[in-house]
Amino acid sequence: MMVEEQEMGYMLVAENSHCGERGQMLGGKVQGAADCAALAQGAEVKAFSLGTKYARGRCYAEDLDVTGDVVKEFEKNRANPPCPGGEWQADELYDFYVLVPLAPM
């Protein structure tokens, strides 16, 4: 799974939650996580939220500084990852993702 995430460039961290402060809307009609990740990368943010249910297609930047160490902590505890921005906030309409740095070749 981690190899696949590195190839895709993003990782689903938490469903129906977000960590940190929600930023600007990056897109209102994205087709999926890959499109939202590309918009986040273009906006130079390291985390994003993607809408589900009634919010499907909405992509928001998340104001969270995601470092390699933060990604490692997420990978260590996939079932209950830590929120470096404080507490996880319940968010029924959005899933929280981070951009994953590419592995060195």
Q: Rounded to the nearest 5 degrees, what angle is found at the Cα of 100, between the Cα atoms of 70 and 1?
A: 100
pTM score of the predicted model = 0.88
Quickly count: other Cβ atoms within 10 Å of residue 36's Cβ. 25
pLDDT digits (tens, 9 = 90+) for 40-99: 999 999 999 999 999 999 999 999 888 888 888 888 888 889 998 788 999 999 999 999
End-to-end CA distance of the chain: 18
Query: Which domains does the chain carry?
Result: 2-99 (3.50.4)
Secondary structure (DSSP) of 16-73: SEE-SEEEEEEESS--SHHHHHHHHHHTT-SEEEEE-GGGTT-EEEEE----HHHHHH
